[in-house]
Amino acid sequence: MSRISIVIPVLNEESNIDPLFERVETVFQELSYDFEILFVDDGSTDQTLNTIKRLHRKDSRAKLISFSRNFGHQIALTAGMDHAKGDAVLVMDADLQHPPELIPTMISEWEKGHEVVYTIREKEDSVGILKALTSKIFYLLFRSLSSTQIPDGVADFRLMDRKVVKAFKRIRERNRFLRGLTFWVGYKNIGIKYKANKRHSGKTKYNWRRMFNFAIEGITSFSSLPIYLSVYIGFTMGTLGFGYGCYALYIKIFTQHSIPGWASTAILHSTIGGLQLFLMGIVGIYVGKIYTETKGRPIYLIRDSVGIEGRDDT
């Protein structure tokens, strides 16, 4: 029987583990596939780890990879895909906002020959205007700055054929934006719209700071255009500054009028100084990425695992 591997990153999700497994199990009772769930514990501090181990003792299809510390959501997804053995791999979140009941539709599209079945979150009235606007701006910027095109609202809820997972396993960069990589690798894909459920329990791990960092990571991982943009901005500001200097000299020499210097100088210096810091920050982000990659450290470290083929640390 063919098997579907389901990769689920978890961080302090103890109260969501059992309900999620039960709903997935119910879904697969109507399917002609076996399944396994690889929970990737990303440094939980609650009882998530013990809950998964207890579930594994009841049902061996629940498996565990536990990191030595928090490595991040994208790295957790990567570790799960590295160890998944299914003919297809499905990734989803643990908070039940990604409805397991959509899995049969995703499998059906995979059976039709689509090698990547991704999902698009439909707009909801409950989502704030600011969050919806910033999301739209991010995807617009991403498409404008990158040759990799991804649609608005694409989620980390997707199914990938085994050959796609093998392609992902060859990509070992540490600064990872899997939503972009899903489209970068190519292959035949199709999108499915879904309505997100309310979080079953617990609190979201994505605050505004993490969302902003995630957006910066995504754009800079797929485009070097901001570097060139900084050159254009610098050239433009230099030209404007030179023009302003010529104007100031003209006023001084030919009109004999003294120029009120402190206000214009302060404005000019603060504007150029701010732009310089901004452009240096852009360059610094890319330099930091280079530094991280050249150190050659492992992408993640596993402290514990249960039920994983080829390794079991308990």
Domain assignment present for 179:
yes
pLDDT tens digits, the chain, 314 residues: what are they?
A: 688 999 999 988 888 999 999 999 999 998 889 999 999 998 888 899 999 999 999 999 999 999 988 888 888 988 998 999 889 999 998 888 889 999 999 999 999 999 999 888 877 655 556 666 666 666 666 666 666 677 777 788 899 999 998 988 888 877 777 777 887 888 888 888 888 766 655 555 555 565 655 556 655 555 556 666 666 666 666 666 666 666 665 666 666 565 566 446 655 665 666 667 667 767 777 776 676 667 667 888 888 888 886 654 44
The closest alpha carbon to 154, from 130, 173, 180, 174, belongs to 180
Domain assignment present for 313:
no
Model pLDDT, residue 30: 87
The closest alpha carbon to 41, from 30, 33, 52, belongs to 52
Model pLDDT, residue 9: 92
Domain span including residue 233:
225-294
Domain assignment present for 312:
no
Same domain, 92 and 230: no
Task: Quickly list H helices, 186-260.
Answer: 208-222, 225-254
CATH of the domain at 191: 3.90.550.10
Distances (CA, A) of 26 to 85, 95, 99, 100: 21, 17, 12, 9
The answer to whether the CB of 305 falls within 8 A of the CB of 312 is: yes
Domain assignment present for 301:
yes
The pair phi, psi for residue 59, each rounded to 5°, is -145, 115
Same domain, 184 and 253: no
Same domain, 111 and 241: no
Q: How far apart are CA 156 and CA 119, in angstroms?
A: 8
Residue type, 198: K
The answer to whether the CB of 89 falls within 8 A of the CB of 77 is: no
The answer to whether the CB of 168 falls within 8 A of the CB of 181 is: yes
Same domain, 176 and 255: no
Same domain, 280 and 302: no
Give the chain's domain count. 2
pTM of the shown model:
0.69
Q: How far apart are CA 198 and CA 168, in angstroms?
A: 30
Q: How many other CB atoms are found less than 10 A from the CB of residue 66?
A: 23
